[in-house]
């Protein structure tokens, strides 16, 4: 599924890597495990809020080796948060601020 990168979506324990809208969360729920409620920060919210999460395997389509275990939350939108990238060992995120682009690639040796 398509998801936006949201650098403001995080959780105090940095476990939530993906946020989904209700429809996609319900569809993904059959392959998630370890359901619980946890706190999440989001841009536009003054405080943390409790969200339902489940643990699952997530990857970026077309980016080999990007599969990680992370919590997936029902948050109202399809978002890929910073906590996903913090667990993406062996990769780097390169920001081209002038060009307004971000590249995710394997780290060079």
Which tens digits make up the pLDDT trace of 15-24?
A: 899 999 999 9
Could you give the angle at the alpha carbon of 79 between the alpha carbons of 108 and 97, nearest 5°? 50
- The structure's pTM equals 0.84
Chain-wide mean pLDDT for the chain? 89
The residue among 22, 14, 94, 89 whose CA lies nearest residue 52 is 22
Mean pLDDT, to the nearest integer, of 65-94? 92
Task: Supply the DSSP symbol for 62.
Answer: T
pLDDT value at residue 59: 94
């Amino acid at each position: 599924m398509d998801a936006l990168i949201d650098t403001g979506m995080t959780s105090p324990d940095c476990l939530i890597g993906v946020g989904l809208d209700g429809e996609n969360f319900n569809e993904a729920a059959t392959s998630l495990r370890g359901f619980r409620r946890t706190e999440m920060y989001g841009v536009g919210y003054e405080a943390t809020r409790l969200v339902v999460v489940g643990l699952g395997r997530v990857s970026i389509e077309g980016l080999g080796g990007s599969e990680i275990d992370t919590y997936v939350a029902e948050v109202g939108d399809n978002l890929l948060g910073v906590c996903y990238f913090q667990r993406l060992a062996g990769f780097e995120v390169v920001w081209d601020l002038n060009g307004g682009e971000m590249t995710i690639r394997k780290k060079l040796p």
